[in-house]
Amino acid sequence: MYELNTAQLGTLAATGASVAQAWVGAWTLFVAGLAAVAVARVAVRRRALMTTERPDTWPGAAAGPVGRRRWRAGPARRTRTRWSKRSAPPSVEQRRALGSPPS
């Protein structure tokens, strides 16, 4: 049976506290990294929303990654419209059916 004197107990406690501190620090940095990645993902998605006008719900569009793409009308973004030659933009009726405001 081992017996620890006061000095040894103090050393053990200090070592334990140091290990705990190191663990908490490392974990906090790890989780902060995940949080930063999440923020970056939101920023990327937001940027993608602002640079695309084509709704991913348009019939015939390939099933891409899940993302929120709102129909945004406006001259600045009009120039960035990327309709394929094979598919025409949706009609007003179609947009209404799909829940997008007609431009």
Distance of CA 41 to the CA centre of its chain: 3
Contact present, 72 and 101 (Cβ < 8 Å)? no
User: In whole angstroms, how close is the CB of 88 to other proteins at the nearest point?
Assistant: 9
Min separation Cβ 80 and other proteins, Å: 20
Contact of 101 with 71, CB cutoff 8 Å: yes
CA distance 52 to 70: 9
Q: Does 85 bind other proteins (CB under 8 A)?
A: no
> Which span sits near other proteins by CB under 8 A: 3-11, 37-45, 76-84?
37-45
Residue 77 is a binding residue for other proteins (CB under 8 A) = no
* Contact status: 39 vs other proteins (CB under 8 A): yes
Q: What is the DSSP letter of 5?
A: -
Phi first, then psi, for residue 89 (nearest 5°) are: -60, 155
Question: Where does this chain bind other proteins (CB under 8 A)?
Answer: 17, 20-21, 23-24, 27-29, 31-32, 35-36, 38-39, 41-45, 57, 59-63, 65-69, 87, 90, 94, 96-99
